Chain A
Amino acid sequence: MRYPPGVSQPDFDRAVLEFEAAIGSDWVFTDEADVDLYRDAYSPMWGEEEEKIPSIALAPQSAEEVQALMRICNAYRIPVYPVSTGKNLGYGGSAPVLNGSVVLDLKRMNRIIEVSEDNAFALVEPGVSYFDLYNYIQELGLDLWIDCPDPGWGSLIGNALDHGVGYTVNPYRDHFEAHCGMEVVLADGDIVRTGMGALPNAETWQQYRWGYGPWLDGLFAQSNFGVVTKMGFWLYPAPEAFRSGSVQVMGYNDVHELVRVTARLMYSGVLNTNAGVQSPIQFVLGQNPEMAERYDRANAEDIRILDEFARSIDTPFWASQFKFYGPREIVDQSWEYTKRQFAHIDGVRFTDGENLDFPMPYEELMQTQDENHLGVPSMSVFQLGNRSNFNPTGSNGHLGFSPVVPMTGEAVIESNKVLGRVLREMGGSTVFNVPPYSYHQRTFTILVGFTVTRDVDANRKTREIFRELVKVAAEHGWGEYRTHTAFMDDCAQAYSFNNNALLRLQQRLKDAIDPNGIISAGRYGIWPKHLREDDDNA
């Protein structure tokens, strides 16, 4: 059995006996083979000394059992790392930030406590996956959609707490924004319900999120202040129809008007879902060193020649895909209205995309362009890095560097040039234009993907490039919305206004709420007092 840091062996041995008494010995995993299943399968530090490996794992089945375990951990000051389903692959999976922490695996807490069709909400435990909730709704024939992220096996709660996103409409696609009400076990074993849940016999816990007094839910996302054991989510009443369409513009500078109009349509609610900016000419430019150089320099003469080049090969410089959900008449008219808003751009082209009516049989949904955009969970996204004809050996996982940038044409061009230069200069992927996408309302996120291997040198290089991207992006005012556990300190340090005032406040809250610093030490850069270096208050 491995032992956690800062705990004597006799104390930990006693604690293990108490864990077994609290939840049963079958659910206290001490055998190294069992515990190794909690390593981060996509770790960019796999097999290196820096890789974080848990000591043991605990798998409670109820909030009461979580309370009992937290009391034991708090008494012995045992570092504990809660995970919902541990499927946050690419962001650390089920492995802790602090090596040797005890993993608190909440997968067995998998009850769907309530789903209301009329008021369109669900109340679930952390072990409930998107597949579970989707299947439950289908089996009962409820007229509701879920909003799911790319892989369907993750936890609704875990994904929302990490600010995960999906692809249908506002507010459902931003999973933390779509939540309403939480139950949280604190480090000392106390249990709290937020919002209207603080009212005994509350009848609107999943419908009125603010409750009474300061709203605290945000404290439990991307943090380490408690263990969330229940969470409510708003669900999307199934729409009648969906259609998509593409707007393509020919000139380099047309990106500004393309994005300006897109933003206006979003802020006014005509577009109530995500859209991105692709560059159809990107691949061709990448194959042409002269044009690639002109794109990177982009003075007036370069732009004139780039525009001529685009016209000569009849390829648009930029394109955006738009999606519409809702009643058939509104969906059709929204697309027509959207086209009219772009009609003044010289040479603009429009292409109709999918045009669907619901309900559709599952088999047909799985034949659409992307079922995740229709609220159907799947694992299709794992084609990313999978074995293919181009890469028959495949990868061992992936990572994403994902800074948030403004929704402007300037930011689209500037962020791709700046990040592209870092990648080229450091020998990383020479991706020319990483498509910005509005994963969250009112901003674009750039997603630079890396593959993870079992080659130590390759992974070290990836980490070096990733850290440089964090630094360079921050110099331009772009911060990550979420990151792998390996880079949580780097990203937290980038948010450094007023001598890291935000992080210092988070540390003060940590010290007050979890004074022994037992929960998820280091998560999102928040370290407890006894593990902080160079801290005047430590």
Chain B
Amino acid sequence: MDDETLSDPLLEVRQLSKTYVRGRWNSSGKSRVAALENVDLTILPGSAIALVGKSGSGKSTLARCLARLEEPDSGEVWFAGKDLLRLPYGELNRMRRGIQLVFQHSASAMNPRLTAAEIVAEPLQIQNQTTRREQRAQALTMMEQVGIPRGWSERRPLEFSGGQRQRLAIARALVLKPPLLILDEALAGLDLTTQMRIANLLLELRDSLSLSYLFISHDLQMAAYLAGTIAVMQLGRIVESSTARELLSNPRHAASRQLVGSIPKALACSDGD
């Protein structure tokens, strides 16, 4: 893995915090949930980092804050030399191209009325790049790259299987050629064979497109397969961050030990070298 190469970080998160406030605009008792507390995270160009943790530990919130789908309360997100949290609206929308997110539920992440080609071309359309014809051509090329035949471009998302749809989602996320791809539980809910195929696709794409990944999962083994570094989250904090091998063999924090301990034993043995 090239995690150790000395270069400027692609993404640097400093002291990121986000608190959810529940309740309507006029309700008196509002409940507060701290989803992220002073999170620090660095992603180097061409590297892959996995973020693991139990449900509700803040993984998805972090992903959404990085893609600026949620507004963090405080902190800094440095990407390509700019603090994303302090950019004017117009520039932010251009910078967004650089960080793309793949959602867990591919079925609900795609408008069921649109065709596959329209879905993959949508980011290009929104960023208003080139002509319609060129947008479509780029979308079709990207679909082929993730293994969806050209002949399927007019199908609607619900006509695809879960695995094919997730490939489509990856194509859509990559069509703007972002340096960083965030996969938010993107393999969850797929069968093991399909998970493996898509994981290998991701590794191929990483090499061919020199991508960086932030891979969010609760599957520690898949995380270890895809990423060199694994960060463990608990209650909105990153409690441990180390190489995949070290985390699996020698987890230090209680949360990490719990995660490693919950890997089914038969698999843990075969994987433990």
Determine if chain A interacts with chain B: no
Give A contacts to B, CB under 8 Å: none
